[in-house]
Structure 1
Amino acid sequence: MNTLFFILSKLVWGALNPGTWLVIGLALVILGLWRGWLRLARGAALVTLCFVVLVSVVPIGQILLRPLETRYPVGPDMPAPTGIIVLGGGEHIARSAFWKRPELNNAAERFTATMALARQYPDARVIFTGGSGALGDLGNTVSGATVARAFFAEQGLDPDRLTLEGASRNTAENATRSFDLIQPEPSQRWVLITSAFHMPRAMNSFTRAGWTGITPWPVDFRSAAIRFRLTWSFVEHLPVLNTALREYLGLLAYRVTGR
């Protein structure tokens, strides 16, 4: 069932991705011109143009992400934790496998914040949880945990402090598999590190999995001061919109399926 959910989630997102909408719009324009269906071609061209202009001028993604990123405070006060849990997603598995060294992506703050807290709390364990969240990586021998092991070794983290969970493919599995691996006690305190926009879904999943005493530590913020000005920023705005829509879709899917 978990594998089916994983595959379906990737296929559904592929269909709802705004980039897919853009390709479909352009395909309808070409089809309409080719078959002489001018009304279809004009309609598809107008809708596609409006979509591009709207995304380019209005920071829709940032507007959608702001409520998620402000759900939990930045750098909250907390007692010394038992351990630091970092969710996978900050590693670039394909580049790491190719270059045979740890390569990070635009969520690298998950790793850097973990190391900062590990130095601040030298007695805390570090738990990395993440395999691969890409459909094309099914069966891949390199996982997020492989990259994490190399990264933390480079940073000088004592390997005895590090626990790796490398089989999970999504947030729900991060929570359940790490819980089964660690078997945390109710009296223990844990810090959970992930991207700020992703923290609400992560906290819900970890609570449902049985984790208690968790302090959320959001990093990797994608929104900033929202300014409405006539500038052309399609390439900058589209990835943020993708992130926002994917996260809201994930929240909805997890709520419906009890994850």
Structure 2
Amino acid sequence: MTLSSFLTNLVIPLNLCITLLVVAAVLFMLRQRKTAFFVAAAGLGWALFWSLPASSLWAGGRLEQLYPYKMPMSMPNAQAIVVLGGSTANNRLNWFEPYDSATATSRIDTAAMLYKAHRAPLIIVSGAALDGKVSEAQLMANSLAQQDIPPDAVVIENRSYTTYENALYTVEALKQLHINQVLIVTSALHMPRAMAVFKKQGVVAVAAPSAPQIVVPGKQGFSFWQPNMRALEASRSIIKEYVGLLVYWVRGWI
């Protein structure tokens, strides 16, 4: 387990809430009742904070807005499109609405649209096998083939398990192909960390994120301040990005 994964799991709202409640119970039995109260309140407050849609819209929306989404035809030309493995909230259109396969858009769909808009002649897919024997990169290549992207326009990088390795191993492939100018495709939430890592590697990178997902839904009755289990569950992805940015900065990767 990486340091960023450990810290993320540690501060996930439900994990931290339960941990602090257990600590509070032990302190209460040790007659440290005032301290126990504050520890328990901190755990419950942390979970409550992340259960509010307003918290996700503020913390996650801030990251998504650092690199605004643009239509494929509005993007500049580049030598290649680099797609990073992973998904956010099952690729659903909006974090606060149920999953709908008819509206779900993955980052590989974004890459295909960029290619068909003639933004670059090559797509590099990056990601190792996280579960099973088939790498994320291969799965993305298969998806591109289903969208009529020719196989000779796709390069597979299947060794990377982290965003840092995405950049490290992709840059090796870029150097072999004499490519230095790329469009980076990933989720809007993940884009700040991805761009920072690739720029640190000396690549001339332009952000081409998938459409933002942490936006106010159009349905009536949506409340910013009503606790929402879907917001609580999705908070893991937001926390992961902030922890990742901190750890990558400490390690000199960004």
- TM-score of the pair, normalised by structure 1: 0.75
Shift of 1:167: 0.5
Match of 1:86 in 2: 83
Query: In the alignment, does 2:24 pair up with 1:19?
Result: no
| Deviates most, 147-156 or 199-208 | 147-156
Shift of 1:54: 3.4
Q: Distance in 2 between matches of 1:38 and 1:55?
A: 28
Shift of 1:220: 4.6
Could you tell me whether the CA contact under 8 Å between 1:222 and 1:240 is conserved in 2? Answer: no
Q: Distance in 1 between matches of 2:114 and 2:242?
A: 29
Aligned residues: 233
Could you tell me whether the CA contact under 8 Å between 1:59 and 1:237 is conserved in 2? Answer: no
Shift of 1:113: 0.8
Shift of 1:44: 5.2
Q: 1:171 aligns with which of 156, 163, 169?
A: 163
Q: Distance in 1 between matches of 2:40 and 2:196?
A: 41
Match of 1:181 in 2: 173
Q: Distance in 2 between matches of 1:107 and 1:207?
A: 29
Structure that is richer in helix per residue = 1
Query: In the alignment, does 2:110 pair up with 1:113?
Result: yes
Match of 2:50 in 1: 55
* Residues 1:79 and 1:24: Cα distance change in structure 2 (over 3 Å): closer
* Residues 1:182 and 1:204: Cα distance change in structure 2 (over 3 Å): same
Q: Deviations over 1:17-49 (max 9, x none)?
A: 22211221343466578x586937655554444
Q: Distance in 1 between matches of 2:70 and 2:119?
A: 18
> Over aligned residues, Cα RMSD in angstroms?
3.2
Q: Distance in 2 between matches of 1:211 and 1:111?
A: 21
Matches within 5 A, 1:11-160: 11-28=6-23, 39=33, 45-57=40-52, 59-75=54-70, 77-90=74-87, 108-121=105-118, 124-132=121-129, 141-160=133-152
Matches within 5 A, 1:171-250: 171-183=163-175, 185=178, 189-212=181-204, 214-225=205-216, 229-233=224-228, 235-250=229-244
* Residues 1:64 and 1:209: Cα distance change in structure 2 (over 3 Å): same
Match of 1:96 in 2: none
3-state secondary structure, aligned to 1:218: coil
Q: Deviations over 1:221-248 (max 9, x none)?
A: 2321398644231x12213432222111
Q: Distance in 1 between matches of 2:153 and 2:201?
A: 23
Q: 2:247 aligns with which of 228, 253, 259?
A: 253
| Deviates most, 109-118 or 214-223 | 214-223
Q: Deviations over 1:70-96 (max 9, x none)?
A: 11232163443322111111399xxxx
3-state secondary structure, aligned to 2:2: helix
Could you tell me whether the CA contact under 8 Å between 2:184 and 2:207 is conserved in 1? Answer: yes
Could you tell me whether the CA contact under 8 Å between 1:109 and 1:220 is conserved in 2? Answer: no
3-state secondary structure, aligned to 1:64: helix
Q: Deviations over 1:163-210 (max 9, x none)?
A: 010100111111110111121546x64211111121111111111212
Gaps (5+ residues) in structure 1?
1-5, 93-103
3-state secondary structure, aligned to 1:195: coil
Of all paired residues, the percent bearing the same amino acid is 26
Q: Which runs of 4+ in 1 moved over 6 A?
A: none
* Residues 1:190 and 1:46: Cα distance change in structure 2 (over 3 Å): closer
